[in-house]
Amino acid sequence: MQTWMISPVELDGLIQQWQKSYAVYVPALSKPATAATDCAPGWRRINAGEPWTLPVGPTPASVKSFYFPQPEILMTFHLEENHPDKGVMREPLKSHEMQVVLGVRPCDAASVLLNQLPFTEDPLFMAKCQRTALVGFTCTTRLSTCFCTEMGGSPHHCAGLDLALSPLQNGFLLEVLSEKGETLVAGCKLVPASESDLAVLADRRQGQGATSSYSSQLEVLKACALSRLYDAPMWQELGEACINCGACTFICPTCFCFDMQDEVVQGQGRRIRYWDSCMFPLYSQHTSGHNPRGKKLQRTRNRFLHKLKYFPDRFGPFSCVGCGRCIGDCPVNIDIREVLNDLVRRTELE
């Protein structure tokens, strides 16, 4: 696909053009929970000409909520006495509005591809993939919590994006990566990237590849017998530290488990699905009261093993993109990189 050179002014013009036919979202810089928009907490919809800022490193909220809204209405129903269709489930209204998410980092773009593995048969998720275009910016700054390279990604990767913008001294290299991306730049007069600009980008990507030897080390986890990892003594300490607050699971771009509940107000009901967390005791508790993961240790272990063992067992890659949000947000300073290191060491023991 084509690569162009685009100046900041031209980019602004392009964004204003999109706003004529798309809903355009940018990162909200305040705390995600307080900047709730119509569908995606942590993101805000901007109007033509409205200024916006791209934070350094991963955006405060991941793009998960564009595909997997919190909550999502699965169906609606009536419970009024004498209603002819009392209790009949109806499909909810579907939005067909095309949306552009602007300011996506490579780690989050990778997370969308990972989430598509379990959700490939889920029509609600896939419908949102159809109507969402991701415009991303490759990273030039690595935060202390970033570890995308360790998870096989790169600050300069663009997999999962429709348009990728890589900052150069006098503007951005604009890579068009999909049909949706082509539609976004259709009709724009842009200057093709020069050989030397392309060389800079190639050089950045080349340089990153070398540091990912660690990611090949992690591959041993996939081949390791589950029992060896499951019975590791490290879970004891980790389970004691973890307070099961669930912050990591909500902030995580690739945690995707959900609960389903009915809500009824004045006879009108809806069945919703909403984010759940395997950190919570109720998550696995049977109606009888029996709880297969009744202990903190078991729940903490479940989260990490789901990401690093169960998900790869089923789908191939680790369910982690190395965005580091969980490291930054954990109230008791649990660091998934240390968990990874401990697990790798565990595989090396005879």
Partner 1 sequence: MISYMPYPVRIDDIVVETEDGSLKTFTLAFEQERHQKAWQHVPGQFVMLSVAGAGEAPVGLASSPTEGERLLCTVNRAGLVTTALHQLKVGDRLGLRGPIGNGFPLDREMKGKNLVMIAGGFAVTILRAALMSVLARRQDYGRITFIYGARTPGMLLYHEELRQWAQRGDIDLYVTIDREAPGWAGLVGFVPTIAAQVAPPPTNSVALICGPPIMIKFTMPPLEAIGWTDDQVYLSLENRMKCGQGLCCHCNVGPTLVCKDGPVFTRAQVKRLPLEY
Which residues in this chain contact partner 1 in the complex, by CB under 8 A? Answer: 74-75, 77, 79, 86-89, 91, 118-119, 121-123, 226, 230, 256-262, 264, 269, 271, 273, 276, 278, 283-288, 292-293, 298, 302, 305-306, 309-310, 313-314
Closer residue to partner 1, CB minimum distance, 181 or 269: 269
Kindly state the tokens that stand for 345. Answer: 């060491």
Closer residue to partner 1, CB minimum distance, 209 or 230: 230
Query: For residues 349 and 52, what is the distance between their CA atoms, to the nearest angstrom?
Result: 50
Closer residue to partner 1, CB minimum distance, 201 or 238: 238
Least distance from partner 1 to the Cβ atom of residue 286, Å: 6
**Total residues found in the chain within this entry:** 350
**234-241 vs 336-348: helix axis angle to the nearest 10?**
170
C-beta separation of 143 from 56 below 8 A: yes
Kindly state the tokens that stand for 169. Answer: 């001294």
Least distance from partner 1 to the Cβ atom of residue 122, Å: 5
Q: Which helix (H) or strand (E) holds 224?
A: none
Closer residue to partner 1, CB minimum distance, 242 or 255: 255
Least distance from partner 1 to the Cβ atom of residue 342, Å: 18
Q: Give the dihedral of Cα atoms 167, 253, 326, 40; nearest 10 deg.
A: 90
Q: Is 59 exposed, middle or buried (0-12, 13-18, 19+ CB in 10 A)?
A: buried
Least distance from partner 1 to the Cβ atom of residue 184, Å: 29
Closer residue to partner 1, CB minimum distance, 156 or 273: 273
Least distance from partner 1 to the Cβ atom of residue 120, Å: 9
Q: Which residues contact 243 (CB under 8 A, 6 or more apart)?
A: 296, 331, 332
